[in-house]
């Protein structure tokens, strides 16, 4: 049989629309899991370059195939690293977007920039400058974000290099007359009328002025003036942010600076769990009441109105050797498990925790041993919970595959009606699989970065079972976007009414 003429169209097999929708939904969820967990840093099972290559591929793939959905993920609980990458890629490819897409993306980008830490935003602007992304849209976004900053002088002092880069790149006129000389020729003026700028000038030769500067700036001046560490920390404590206080707890203890060692109850839950795990076991035991009280307070705050509404909950929590993670993300998976333990305790009416190691004392947990998830899941299911939550990196190895088989038999034979809701939340991105590792096909799995996001991620994980398609996912994203943009739209209405 002769081949068809070159001019004849040969039919190409196509997938049914429903299948295409399921594939699109799976692609988006794949990316969301990566954007929640991956930061391009080394993990226990993969190197940093593998993480970056895998993550770059997913960003390029989703942007090229599902631009609207790619932008919509800015409204989800993704981490700051990936939020900045999404914004950068959207701005780099602005010429490929329609007017409607650019409008929707602009609102999402503006809202996300407000939520990002300032140093992350200034780093993004520097990356756009290096990439020579300088279209009108980018300049407008930089201008509008700088206009939202509550104290331009504070930013000029604390993030001086970042502000200079942003101003140069967007060709901006500064709102205050003294900011230009301060940024580009700070030592040419004998004095400044703006109090903080004048304080910075005086701090070059006056020790007292050092304590009126932001902590990160004051630290450099303290070294310049040879101020003793303990005295410096005690005097600068009122100028510290909550996160700076948390990071300096151990340093303050060693320097015997008592003013810094306060305020644990104001910390976010996962950050507080990371701090606790960084303490020696003896100190944790000695400070048991203080640390446990702070963790429970943070958990109740994170649970909010949902406190006590989850019924009977059992949790399988991974504290195996792999939760050490890496030097860049030291004990991060274990911190998520510890924080989730306290959050689930607050959410549940009745709560039963089961650590992989078999330990009973959550405060004294540390990474050790294999990961017998299958055995622990069996123990958890025997308690007949309404919900079973599994926090693990998914490396079930004692014995390998037992967890998947237990979950398969439970779902297909023992509980086909789904009386027990099971969800697996994974804090570690698997670079080789372009996703977080899953325990079993029928068990919803989602990535998790902060335990505080556990309730919303539990809802998102339901889309990962392959039973729902793109329309349902789009509806979910539309709801999340509306809630995400609501504060911004409310502020715009108030401004218009003035």
Q: Which residues have C-beta within 8 Å of that of residue 244, sequence separation ≥ 6?
A: 215, 216
Q: How far apart are the first and last CA of the chain?
A: 79
Q: pTM (2 decimals)?
A: 0.85
pLDDT tens digits along 142-162: 999 999 999 999 999 999 999
Residue 5 pLDDT exceeds 50: no
Higher pLDDT, 220 or 442: 220
Confidence of residue 21 (pLDDT cuts 50, 70, 90): low
Confidence of residue 327 (pLDDT cuts 50, 70, 90): low
Q: Which residues have C-beta within 8 Å of that of residue 7, sequence separation ≥ 6?
A: none
* Beta-bridge partners for 426: 447
The percent helix, strand, coil of the chain (3-state, each to 5) is 60, 5, 35
Give the length of the chain: 498
Q: Residue 38: what pLDDT?
A: 86
pLDDT tens digits along 32-69: 999 998 887 777 767 778 888 999 999 999 999 999 99
Q: Where are the beta strands (DSSP E) in 47-197?
A: none
Q: Residue 10: what pLDDT?
A: 37
Q: Mean pLDDT for the chain?
A: 86
Q: Give the up-direction half-sphere exposure of residue 41: CA atoms within 13 A in the CB hemisphere.
A: 13
Q: Could you give the 3-state DSSP secondary structure of residue 396? A: coil
- Residues 305-466: name the CATH superfamily: von Willebrand factor, type A domain (3.40.50.410)
Domain boundaries of the chain, sorted by first residue: 305-466
For CA atoms 380, 381, 387, 391, give the dihedral sign.
Answer: positive
């Amino acid at each position: 049989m002769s081949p068809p003429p070159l001019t004849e169209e040969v039919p190409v097999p196509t997938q049914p629309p429903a299948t295409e929708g399921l594939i699109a939904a799976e692609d988006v969820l794949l990316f969301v899991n990566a954007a929640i967990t991956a930061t391009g840093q080394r993990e226990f099972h993969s190197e940093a370059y593998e993480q970056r290559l895998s993550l770059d591929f997913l960003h390029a793939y989703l942007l090229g195939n599902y631009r609207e959905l790619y932008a919509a993920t800015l409204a989800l609980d993704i981490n700051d690293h990936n939020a900045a990458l999404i914004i950068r890629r959207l701005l780099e490819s602005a010429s490929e977007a329609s007017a409607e897409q650019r409008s929707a993306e602009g609102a999402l980008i503006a809202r996300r920039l407000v939520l990002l830490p300032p140093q992350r935003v200034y780093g993004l602007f520097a990356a756009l400058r290096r990439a020579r992304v300088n279209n009108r849209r980018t300049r407008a976004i930089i201008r509008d974000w700088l206009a939202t900053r509550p104290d331009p002088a504070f930013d000029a002092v604390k993030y001086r290099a970042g502000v200079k880069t942003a101003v140069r790149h967007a060709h901006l006129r500064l709102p205050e007359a003294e900011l230009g000389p301060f940024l580009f020729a700070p030592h040419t003026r004998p004095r400044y009328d703006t109090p903080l700028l004048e304080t910075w000038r005086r701090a070059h030769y006056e020790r007292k002025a050092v304590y009126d500067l932001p902590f990160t700036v004051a630290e450099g001046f303290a070294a310049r003036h040879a101020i003793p560490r303990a005295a410096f920390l005690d005097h600068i404590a009122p100028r510290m942010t909550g996160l700076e206080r948390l990071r300096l707890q151990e340093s303050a203890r060693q320097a015997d600076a008592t003013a810094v060692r306060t305020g644990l109850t104001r910390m976010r839950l996962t950050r507080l769990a990371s701090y606790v795990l960084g303490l020696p076991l003896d100190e944790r035991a000695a400070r048991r009441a203080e640390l446990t009280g702070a963790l429970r307070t943070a958990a109740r705050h994170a649970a909010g109105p949902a406190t006590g509404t989850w019924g009977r909950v059992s949790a399988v929590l991974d504290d195996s050797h792999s939760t050490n993670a890496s030097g860049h993300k030291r004990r991060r998976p274990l911190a998520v498990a510890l924080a989730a333990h306290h959050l689930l305790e607050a959410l549940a009416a009745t709560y039963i925790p089961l650590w992989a190691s078999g330990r009973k004392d959550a405060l004294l947990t540390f990474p050790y041993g294999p990961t017998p998830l299958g055995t622990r899941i069996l123990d958890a299911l025997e308690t007949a919970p309404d919900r079973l939550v599994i926090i693990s990196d998914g490396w079930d190895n004692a014995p390998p595959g037992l967890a998947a088989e237990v979950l398969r038999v439970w779902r297909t034979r023992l509980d086909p009606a789904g009386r027990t809701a099971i969800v697996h939340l994974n804090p570690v991105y698997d670079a080789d699989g372009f996703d977080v590792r899953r325990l079993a096909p029928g068990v919803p799995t989602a990535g998790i970065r902060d335990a505080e996001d556990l309730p919303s991620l539990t809802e998102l994980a339901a889309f990962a079972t392959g039973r729902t398609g793109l329309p349902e996912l789009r509806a979910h994203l539309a709801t999340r976007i509306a809630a995400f943009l609501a504060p911004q739209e409310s502020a715009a209405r108030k401004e218009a009414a003035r």
